[in-house]
């Protein structure tokens, strides 16, 4: 457990793609992380590869040996289409493309249930050209319904992430989807702290408080206002102590996962520096609120 708070820190494997998965997990355990954000991808628990159930059991054994919690992330860039980043999406014009993304997410739910993950992360995707807003929301609602059914059966929350540039980009968009779907119990929120700094009108700490009832997964990194670029801590504009204090106050029990997907070349060093930074920013027990 991270010092003096109920926050559990993790690091995303999408920032450790130059390491074998076992080596990445061992590194995070050695550094003192509480868990891992495991992106299902061709180099780390390939969701389309053979004998997935057996490979998942092996990963589960390793996580247990190392004492690491896990959340399942589904933001692999080319796992479905080797020529189209994040394609096909839940909004794809091709029904077969949307179905492929839905199948990937339902597979992720099964993997998450087998690993005892606290949530499955996903996002909407970018609205395709020549697609109306109403059509895009209808496609998202339709494509997510089987995933939510699987999540309900697996008792594993589905945590959708507001992503700059996507159909579902803001907290308001999350609430719009929630209302469209009839507020289903398995649907929760992935809150990316950097995205709050980038796009939301409210400060990140206020976003945390506003999102608290639906919070199922948290990603964290530094970022600048209006620029969607995931940055190492200290390279952006976020004031982290109020954010971490707000997170702790929500009682959120899942992982808070460092999200640096473009920094795998320096993954081991950034994993070390990130946990040291976050520990240095955590308010001490008994300290006055900011």
* Tens digit of each residue's pLDDT (9 = 90 or more) over 164-193: 999 999 999 999 999 999 999 999 999 999
Q: For residues 122 and 105, is the Cβ–Cβ distance under 8 A?
A: yes
Asked whether residue 290 carries a pLDDT value surpassing 60, the answer given is no
Q: Strands, E, within the chain: which ranges? A: 8-12, 35-39, 69-73, 120-122, 158-160, 187-192, 215-220, 222-224, 227-231, 255-258
Q: Token pair of 286, please?
A: 């008994």
pLDDT score of 289: 40
- What the chain holds in terms of domains, given with CATH numbers, is 8-281 (3.20.20.150)
What's the CA gap between 14 and 161, in Å, rounded? 16
Q: How far apart (Å, rounded) are the C-alpha atoms in residues 140 and 134?
A: 10
Residue 44 carries which DSSP code?
Answer: B
Let me know the angle formed at the C-alpha of 210 by 1 and 226, rounded to the nearest 5 degrees: 95
* Rounded Cα gap, residues 190 and 214, in angstroms: 9
Strands 8-12, 227-231: pairing is unpaired
Tokens of 276: 């040291």
Task: Return mean pLDDT, the chain.
Answer: 95
The whole-number average pLDDT for the span 49-65 is 98
pLDDT at residue 284, rounded to an integer = 57
pLDDT band at 282 (very low <50, low <70, confident <90, very high): confident
Contact by Cβ (8 Å): 248, 6:
yes
pLDDT tens digits, 6-52 = 799 999 999 999 999 999 999 999 999 999 999 999 999 999 999 99
Beta-carbon contacts of 199 under 8 Å, excluding residues fewer than 6 positions away, are 162, 164, 169, 170, 226, 228
Distance separating alpha carbons of residues 195 and 204, to the nearest angstrom: 9
Q: pTM for the whole thing?
A: 0.94
């Amino acid at each position: 457990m991270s010092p003096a708070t109920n926050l559990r820190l993790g690091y995303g494997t999408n920032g450790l793609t130059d390491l074998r998965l076992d080596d990445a997990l061992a590194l995070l355990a050695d550094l003192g992380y509480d868990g891992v954000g495991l992106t299902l991808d061709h180099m780390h628990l390939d969701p389309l590869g053979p004998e997935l159930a057996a490979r998942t059991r092996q990963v589960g054994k390793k996580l247990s040996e190392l004492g690491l919690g896990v959340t399942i992330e589904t933001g692999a860039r080319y796992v479905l289409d080797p020529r189209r980043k994040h394609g096909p999406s839940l909004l794809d014009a091709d029904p077969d493309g949307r179905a492929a993304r839905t199948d990937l997410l339902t597979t992720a739910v099964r993997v998450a249930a087998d690993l005892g993950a606290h949530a499955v992360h996903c996002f909407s995707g970018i609205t395709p050209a020549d697609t109306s807003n109403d059509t895009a929301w209808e496609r998202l609602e339709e494509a997510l319904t089987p995933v939510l059914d699987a999540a309900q059966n697996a008792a594993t929350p589905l945590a959708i992430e507001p992503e700059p540039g996507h159909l579902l980009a803001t907290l308001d968009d999350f609430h719009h989807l929630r209302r469209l779907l009839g507020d289903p119990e398995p649907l929760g929120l992935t809150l990316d702290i950097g995205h709050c700094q980038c796009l939301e009108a409210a400060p990140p700490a206020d976003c945390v408080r506003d999102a608290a009832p639906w919070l199922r997964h948290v990603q964290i990194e530094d970022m600048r206002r209006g620029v969607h670029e995931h940055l190492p801590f200290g390279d952006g504009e976020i004031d982290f102590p109020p954010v971490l204090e707000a997170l702790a106050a929500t009682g959120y029990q899942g992982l808070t996962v460092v999200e640096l997907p473009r920094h795998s070349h320096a993954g081991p060093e950034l994993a070390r520096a990130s946990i040291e930074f976050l520990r240095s920013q955590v308010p001490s027990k008994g300290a006055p609120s900011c």
